[in-house]
Structure 1
Amino acid sequence: MWQLMICLYCPGGTAFNGVVEELKKVTTRVAHVLPVSDDGGSTAEIVRVLGGPAVGDIRSRCLRLSDESTSEALSVRTLLGHRLPLDPSEAKLEWYQIVEGEHTLWDGVSQPYRETIRAFLVYFHNEILRRSAEMFCFTNGSIGNFFFAGARIFFQSLDAAIFLFSRVSQIPAESLVLPVISTNDRLTLGCELWDGTIIRGQNEISHPSNGRKEVVNKDCNSCSALPSRIKRVFYMSSEGSNLLHEVFPEANRTVLEQLSKVDCIVYAMGSLFTSVCPSLVLRGIGETIASRSIPKVLLLNGSHDRETTGLPASGFVTAITDSLNRTYGDPDKSLKNLPKDYVNALLVPKGGQIPLDVKNLASQGIFHVVTVDSVRDAKTGVIFDSQSLIQALTSLISGRRLVEPDLLTENVESLY
């Protein structure tokens, strides 16, 4: 098995999950750095009633990394990956069957695992009942999210909850799932547009619901356009509504430690401003990444979404650079590093929608651009072929040298 250590800056949702399955076949020595500001789906209901950080992205990644080599491991994974029905009454009924240990999802789960998992589901349920003034809606609820929230509240520690979830789902010890901010508090993401508009909440930035309680539609063309392009994202107090409420949480020290010793840094595809950039804007992240002379690879999206409409490839690099430099925030906290200090290679899905402006990339100091085979997804459009992506990534990293070509026409190199 491949032994280089990778630090992945990635969304926790579907965009990268298929690639994780393929990556596991090559190496498990990966630090998965994830945001804790998602306020959509069943995570939103947990945060609304119980507070705390959003755990949905972390739960999603933990499940993708979990063991599936035995029938019991598959049963545990199925249980923690289960979602309740969309109908509120049916969802509540099924939840009671699960929490009382009577659901068929428990079949195949041995007594020690059953007692451990159920104990934290019961604890989560009791915490809901204690807040009788807030009616909890179980619609489309994730059992894994409920287990995770129960563990976090019991231990009063996000790190302890991740440790427990990792052991229950039997994640390899060398695979780290790291919240970019280690906190037991609620975090709110804010967004400033170039026209001065401030948007509060990750879901309102990427997939606004207009106040409706429904399953978020994450199809690439499901949302109306923003009134102006995004200037930056930042963290704000839970009750804040403008720039005066900006807060500056500390980066997870373990993330900084991993960044200082990994062999490669990868910015994965997904929602650029709401899933990738929130893990970059913290003090210490830009400083550490800029100091490393290693491959720093951007996996370019295959399609535009509400956040990136009209952006070329160089625009993605600029957004990452501005986030790591904290360019538009407090000037006393900003950096002035160059794009090539943060990104020195791009992997691009063949036939993707994002314009590949190689001359602008070259002006940013980025000369290594590799096209990778792609497939078409019905919901998200063009995406990387997972096997081809991992082959391209491992080839790039194992070479360890990113040589600048003499001609711009050599910028785009096809491995396949």
Structure 2
Amino acid sequence: MQDEMLIPDSTKCERYMRAPQAGPRILFFSGGTALSEVSRELTRYTHNTIHIMTPFDSGGSSGELRRWFHIPAMGDIRSRLLSLSAASPGEPQAAAALFSHRFSMDMPRHEATSELAALAGGSHPLMRGLSLQTEEILCPHFRLFLSSMPDAFDLRGACMGNLILTSAYLASSCKMASGIRLLSALVGGHGVVHPVVGEDMHIAAELDDGSVVVGQHLLTGKEGGAIQARIARVWLTRSLDNAAPAKVSIDGETADRIGEAELICFPIGSFFTSVVANILPWGVGKAVAANPCPKVFVPNPFDDPELLGYSVEDQVATLMAYLGASGAPEGRDALQYVLVDTGKGTYPGGLNPDAIEAMGARVIDVPLIAEPAGAGIDKGLLTRALLSFT
């Protein structure tokens, strides 16, 4: 990347918009919803984005599915698939509405079961707009989930798309790929969504006060309140009841996806549970470092409960350390640019560009923040900035 690169590069962006089917392969390591709007905006420019996702969520309805079925988390993957949806009128739009629908928390449990039975039988109103062929694909999945569902399982709050992904996982010898392909095809997905690993694992953390927290839902601040001490280190474990570290490696498909990217981005989002979690499995750093494409980190210009006590330079050092631990020969081989907006962005832990440059990563200061200042990332500005690297 040359020093005189133009950000945003309007010529590139206009060219990509004219032919998004031939757009660049931008890869994100992420999870959760922070990147949803940016992902949707990117489909205007490229249909070839790659989203490596964490299947470690342990809260909400995804957590309930995991507790009863001993599966990886499906919710963030389903959400990202819908963000990449064409959402065009007709079947893709009807499928997206079905996969987004949740059982009401206010209905009696038996009514939720009856609603699932209606879906399994093809008589639910949400099945309207779907072709007979699609019904013949989806109804068996709803029937399989209904027959596999433990008596004590509570459907209320569950998302239809998560049930389909769970059923497809159970029906395919515990593989996530078939369900992801099914949802992506039905909603007209523009991009690839892939779990970093397909195993039933959780994230754990040791805090500076010596306490250990197991479970993403306890680290994000969304359930149980924000953590009160700085995160010292994180690792993967196989159970919410046991913090023992567990080793896992990425498979060949994940390595190939990383290897084919034309830009690798560590984006906004929950820093430890969405971004760092993705680089914990062995082989991620190795694959990232082996790819000669640009690698960009976009730190959060807003409060993140997981970043108590962390400056942006601390985040860069942390990313480099975990990339090294997962196989990158040198941290700087896996992270080269840090994209910030000092004009409007507020980086709660502080930002020292000189310290970041000393670690071997170049700081690029460009407009990224929406109006008014402090409103968060502007999806268009960030999208066009990232496209300029390709």
TM range (shorter): 0.7 to 0.9
1:240, distance to aligned residue in structure 2 (A): 4.6
Contact 2:288 2:328 in 1 (8 A): no
How far 1:189 sits from its partner (Å)?
Answer: 1.4
The 1-side partners of 2:291 and 2:135 are apart by 45
Residue 153 of structure 1 corresponds to 170
* Alpha-carbon separation, structure 2, partners of 1:289 and 1:59: 25
1:241 is matched with: 242
Overall identity of the aligned pairs, in %: 26
Q: Check conservation: 1:182, 1:252, Cα contact below 8 A.
A: no
Q: Which position in structure 2 is the counterpart of 1:182?
A: 198
The residue number in structure 2 matching 1:406 is none
Two-structure CA RMSD over aligned residues (Å) = 2.2
Check the 8 A contact 1:179/1:252 in 2, yes or no. no
CA, structure 1 residues 271+360, in 2 after alignment: closer, same or farther (shift >3 Å)? same
The count of residues paired between Structure 1 and Structure 2 equals 363
CA distance in 2 between partners of 1:257 and 1:51 (Å): 27
TM-score for the superposition, normalised by structure 1? 0.81
**Deviations, residues 134-182 of structure 1 (Å, cap 9, x unaligned):** x11122210000111011101122122222222233324xx22111003
Q: Which amino acid aligns with 1:60?
A: S
The alpha-carbon deviation at position 252 of structure 1 amounts to 2.8
In the alignment, the residues of structure 1 paired with residue 91 and residue 328 of structure 2 have an alpha-carbon distance, to the nearest angstrom, of: 49
How far does residue 198 in structure 1 lie from its aligned partner after superposition?
Answer: 1.3
Other structure's SS at 1:374 match: coil
2:283/2:327 contact within 8 Å kept:
no
3-state SS of the aligned residue for 1:372? coil
- 2:60 alignment counterpart: 41
Distance 1:144 1:369 in 2: 39
User: Offset at 1:127?
Assistant: 0.4
Deviation at 1:269, TM superposition (A): 0.9
Q: 1:3 to 1:273 in 2, by over 3 A?
A: same
Correspondence 1:368-383 to 2 at 5 A: 368-375=363-370, 382-383=375-376
Q: Residue 255 and residue 372 in structure 1: after superposition, are their counterparts in 2 closer, same or farther (change >3 A)?
A: farther
Distance apart, 1:228 and its partner CA: 2.1
Cα shift at 1:325? 2.0
Q: Which residue in 2 is equivalent to 1:227?
A: 228
One-letter identity of the residue aligned with 2:52:
V
CA distance in 2, matches of 1:334, 1:198: 26
Distance 1:294 1:368, change over 3 A: farther
- Secondary structure (helix, strand or coil) at the match of 1:384 reads coil
After superposition, give the CA deviation of every residue in 1:265-305 in whole Å (9 maximum; x if it has no partner).
01111001001111101211112222333210112212122
Q: Does 2:187 match 1:169?
A: yes
**Aligned partner of residue 67 in structure 1, secondary structure:** coil
Q: Please give the secondary structure, in 2, of the residue aligned with 1:7.
A: strand
CA contact (8 A) 2:91 2:129 kept: yes
Residue of structure 2 equivalent to 1:191:
205
Q: Quick one: which of 319, 332, 336 aligns to 1:344?
A: 336
Contact 1:352 1:382 in 2 (8 A): no
Give the CA deviation at 1:91: 4.4
Task: State the SS of the aligned residue for 2:362.
Answer: coil
User: How far, CA to CA, are the matches of 2:81 and 2:278 in structure 1?
Assistant: 18
Q: How does 1:12-411 map to 2 (within 5 A)?
A: 13-89=32-108, 91-92=112-113, 94-128=115-149, 131-132=150-151, 135-156=152-173, 157-172=175-190, 175-183=191-199, 186-207=200-221, 209-210=223-224, 223-224=225-226, 226-238=227-239, 240-242=241-243, 245-326=244-325, 337-338=330-331, 340-349=332-341, 351-354=344-347, 355-375=350-370, 382-395=375-388, 397-398=389-390
What one-letter code is carried by the residue in structure 2 that aligns with 1:152? Y
Letter of the aligned partner of 1:351 in structure 2? K
Post-superposition offset of 1:313: 1.5
Structure 2 length-normalised TM:
0.86
Aligned 8 A contact 1:193 1:232 in 2: yes
> Residues 122, 246 of structure 1: CA spacing in aligned structure 2 closer, same or farther, 3 A cutoff?
same
Residue aligned with 2:304, SS: coil
Deviation string for 1:175-217 (max 9, x for gaps)? 221110033xx2121112233221111111213635xxxxxxx
1:200–1:171 Cα change, 3 Å? same
Q: Distance in 1 between matches of 2:95 and 2:179?
A: 17
The one-letter code matched in structure 2 to 1:347 is L
Partners of 2:93 and 2:292 in 1: CA distance: 40
Q: Partner amino acid for 2:377?
A: F
* SS at 1:375 equivalent: coil
State the one-letter code of the partner of 1:209: E
Deviations 1:205-245 (A, max 9, x none): 213635xxxxxxxxxxxx33x23211222111226533xx2
Alpha-carbon offset, residue 376 of structure 1:
6.7
Secondary structure of the structure 1 residue equivalent to 2:366: strand
Q: CA deviation at 1:24?
A: 0.6
Is the partner of 2:232 in helix, strand or coil? strand
